[in-house]
Chains A and B, each alone.
Chain A
Amino acid sequence: MALAESITTRAGTKLSAQHVQMAFSRDGKTTPVLNDVNLQVAKGEFLCIVGPSGCGKSTLLSAIGGFLSPTGGEIRIDGEVVSGPDPRRIFVFQERGVFPWLTVEGNIEFGLFKLAQRERRARVAHYIEMVGLRGFEKAYPSELSGGMKQRLEVARALAVNPDMLLLDEPFGALDSITRLIMRGELLGIWREERNTVIFVTHDIDEAVQLADRVAVMSGRPAGIQQTIDIDIAHPRDISAPRYLELRNGILEQLGIAHHV
C-alpha cells in the first residue's frame, strides 16, 4: 500500500500505550480485561477502535482518559504518563453525559470557569454556532432530541479546547439517519479543529467511514489484533471497491462472515 504512508512517522506521536494490562477484581476473582495492549496514535489522527462487544474497548478508552489506571504497562500522552483525568483530553459519552440542570449555554460554559467572562461568552457562542444549536441557547437538555444532546456534549468538550477527544460509542443511542448526519458533522469539526480523536465503536462501517486508522481488538482478554490504515480521501464513497475491501478485511479480522 503505497498510499498508506505511516502517519505516525509523519507527525509527532500523541499517545503511546505500551504493554497495557488491565484486570478487575471482584469477589476475590481477578478477571483480565486488557492483555498487552500496544498502540501509537499520531497528533491530529482520527483513530477508531473496533472489537466485539464487551471486549474492553471502553476500558481502554477510560484508561487513556485517566479514569482507570492500568494494572500493568503504561500510557503516555505527549510523553507524560497519564495519571488522572485532564481537561486537555475530554471524554465524550453517549448523550447521557450532558448536565440536565444546565441550559445548552450552561453546559458548554461548564468547563470554562478559568476564563474571563468575555472569552467565555465568545467560546460559547462559537461552539453553539458550530454544532448548529443556535436558537436553543436557553433550552434544557430535556427539551432537545438525542442528536442535539450529542452535539451539545461534543460542543461542551470542544469548548475547553482539548487536544484529544475520546469518544465512547458516541452515536450508539441515535437512530440511523441521525447517526449518519452526526458522522458528517464530526468529520467537519475534526477537519476544522484538528484534535486527536480516539473513537470507540462496535460499528465497522462507522469506523471505516470516519477513521484514518482502525485498531481492531481481539476478544477478552483483549489486545490490539491489527491496525488498518484507511487510505481513502474524504468524502468517502461507501460503495467504492476500496471501501468495501477495507470493511470486509476488518470483518474477517473479527472473524465475522459478511454474508447474512
Chain B
Amino acid sequence: MNALSAPRKWERFLWPVVASALFLVMWDYAVVHTATKVFPSPLMVEQGIAELSRKGVLWAYIGDSLRRVALGFGAAVAVGVPIGLTLGWYPAVNQVVNPVLQMLRPISPIAWIPVAILLFGVGDGTAVFLIFLAAVFPIVVACISGVATVPAIYRRAGRNFGLSAPQLLLRVVFPAALPQIIVGLRLALGIAWLVVVAAEMIAVDSGLGYLVIDARNSGKRYDLVVAAMLMIGLIGLVLDLGFRSLRKIRSVRWGFRDES
C-alpha cells in the first residue's frame, strides 16, 4: 500500500479481515500447540456461543447489559450535559465546584461498589448507578471544556443579534460545543460498557458480566467465559462505531477533522 494514495474500498475491508483471521489462526495454533485442557479453541468458543444462543440466554443477557448501559449512560447524559454546560457557562461556579469534581473523578467506579450496594441493594439499581458514575464525569468535563473553548466571536455575534442568555446558550454555545461534547459522550459510553461488566459480576444475576463469572463458577466453562468476552468486545465495537457515525451529521461535521 502506498502511504500517499488512499486505500481502495476493497482494501479497507480486506486487511482488517485478514488481520482478524490471522489472530484466530494464531489463537487456535497456541491452543493446539500447548495442548491446554482449560483454554478453549476458537471453534469451541463458537460452539459455546451457539449453545448460549440455543438456550436463549445469549440474547437475554445482551439485552440486559445493553438496557443497564442505556439507563446508566442515559442518566449520565441527562445529568452531566446540563451540569457541564452550566459550569462551562459560569466559570465562577466552576472554580468553586471544580476541586470536588476533580477529586471524585479519579475514584474508580469499582471502589463505589460497597456504597452503591448500601444505597441501592443488590440488583439493577446498583449496576445502573455504577455505570452512571463512570459515565457522568467524562461528560461533565467534555461539556465544560466544550463551552469554554467556544470562540468569543460566535458569542459576540449571538449577542449582537439580540439573543437573551438562555437563547445564546441554546442557539450558539451548545451547537458550537457539540462536536466536543460528542467526543466526551463517546468516551463515556466506552467506559460505561467497561463498567457494566464489572457491575454485573457483583450486583446482578444476568447480563454478559454475570455470564463471565457464572460460566467460570458453575463448572469452569471457559468456552462460555471466552464466548462472553468475545460478545462484550464485539458489542463494544458496534457501540463505538455507531457513536462515531454521529460525526457524519452535517451540523457537527465541521468540528471533526476529516478522518472517516
Given A96-B153, A101-B176: A142 touches B161 (CB 8 Å cut-off): no
Q: Indicate the size class of the contact surface on chain A.
A: 20 to 34
B160 within 8 A of A: yes
The segment from B74-82, B97-105, B224-232, B246-254 that touches chain A is B246-254
Instruction: Kindly identify, within residues 166 to 205 of chain A, every residue whose CB is under 8 Å from any CB belonging to chain B.
Output: none
How far is B153's CA from A209's CA once the two chains are assembled, in angstroms? Answer: 28
Q: How far is the CB of B196 from chain A (nearest CB, A)?
A: 32
One of A86, A99, A114 near B154 (C-beta < 8 A): A99
How far is B157's CA from A97's CA once the two chains are assembled, in angstroms? Answer: 7
A243 within 8 A of B: no
B143 within 8 A of A: no
| Pair A141/B161 contact, Cβ less than 8 Å | no
- With a cutoff of 8 Å between Cβ atoms, the chain A residues found around residue B154 in the complex are 97, 99
B236 within 8 A of A: no
- With a cutoff of 8 Å between Cβ atoms, the chain B residues found around residue A136 in the complex are none
| Pair A141/B254 contact, Cβ less than 8 Å | yes
- With a cutoff of 8 Å between Cβ atoms, the chain A residues found around residue B171 in the complex are 110
Residue interface bits A133-155, CB-to-B below 8 A is 1, else 0: 00000001110000000000000
| Pair A101/B254 contact, Cβ less than 8 Å | yes
B156 within 8 A of A: yes
Residue interface bits B131-165, CB-to-A below 8 A is 1, else 0: 00000000000000000000101101101111000
**CB-based nearest A residue for B252:** A101
Given A93-B153, A99-B172, A101-B178: A142 touches B160 (CB 8 Å cut-off): no
Q: How far is the CB of A129 from chain B (nearest CB, A)?
A: 21
B175 within 8 A of A: yes
| Pair A67/B254 contact, Cβ less than 8 Å | no
How far is B252's CA from A204's CA once the two chains are assembled, in angstroms? Answer: 39
| Pair A87/B251 contact, Cβ less than 8 Å | no
Instruction: Kindly identify, within residues 2 to 34 of chain B, every residue whose CB is under 8 Å from any CB belonging to chain A.
Output: none
How far is B151's CA from A99's CA once the two chains are assembled, in angstroms? Answer: 11
How far is B153's CA from A97's CA once the two chains are assembled, in angstroms? Answer: 6
Residue interface bits A79-101, CB-to-B below 8 A is 1, else 0: 00000111100110100110111
| Pair A90/B176 contact, Cβ less than 8 Å | no
| Pair A111/B176 contact, Cβ less than 8 Å | no
| Pair B156/A67 contact, Cβ less than 8 Å | yes
Given A140-B250, A142-B254: A99 touches B161 (CB 8 Å cut-off): no
- With a cutoff of 8 Å between Cβ atoms, the chain A residues found around residue B156 in the complex are 67, 85, 91
* B interface SS class: helix
A47 within 8 A of B: no
- With a cutoff of 8 Å between Cβ atoms, the chain A residues found around residue B172 in the complex are 99
A224 within 8 A of B: no
Given A140-B254, A142-B254: A99 touches B175 (CB 8 Å cut-off): yes
Given A93-B153, A142-B253: A111 touches B161 (CB 8 Å cut-off): yes
Given A101-B176, A140-B254, A141-B254: A87 touches B161 (CB 8 Å cut-off): yes
Instruction: Kindly identify, within residues 183 to 242 of chain A, every residue whose CB is under 8 Å from any CB belonging to chain B.
Output: none
Q: How far is the CB of B126 from chain A (nearest CB, A)?
A: 39
| Pair A87/B175 contact, Cβ less than 8 Å | no
| Pair B253/A99 contact, Cβ less than 8 Å | no
| Pair A111/B162 contact, Cβ less than 8 Å | yes
| Pair A110/B161 contact, Cβ less than 8 Å | yes
**CB-based nearest A residue for B250:** A140
How far is B178's CA from A90's CA once the two chains are assembled, in angstroms? Answer: 26
| Pair A65/B254 contact, Cβ less than 8 Å | no
Residue interface bits A55-94, CB-to-B below 8 A is 1, else 0: 0000000000101000000000000000011110011010
A49 within 8 A of B: no
**CB-based nearest A residue for B251:** A101
Q: How far is the CB of B147 from chain A (nearest CB, A)?
A: 14
| Pair B160/A99 contact, Cβ less than 8 Å | no
List 16 other contacts, CB 8 Å, given A85-B156, A111-B162: A65-B160, A84-B159, A85-B159, A91-B156, A93-B153, A93-B157, A97-B153, A99-B175, A99-B176, A100-B254, A101-B252, A110-B171, A111-B161, A114-B162, A140-B254, A142-B254
Please name the 3 residue pairs, one residue from A and one from B, whose CB atoms are nearest each other, closest first: A111-B161, A100-B254, A101-B175
12 contacts between A and B (CB under 8 A): A67-B159, A84-B159, A85-B160, A86-B160, A87-B160, A91-B156, A96-B151, A99-B176, A101-B175, A101-B254, A102-B175, A113-B167
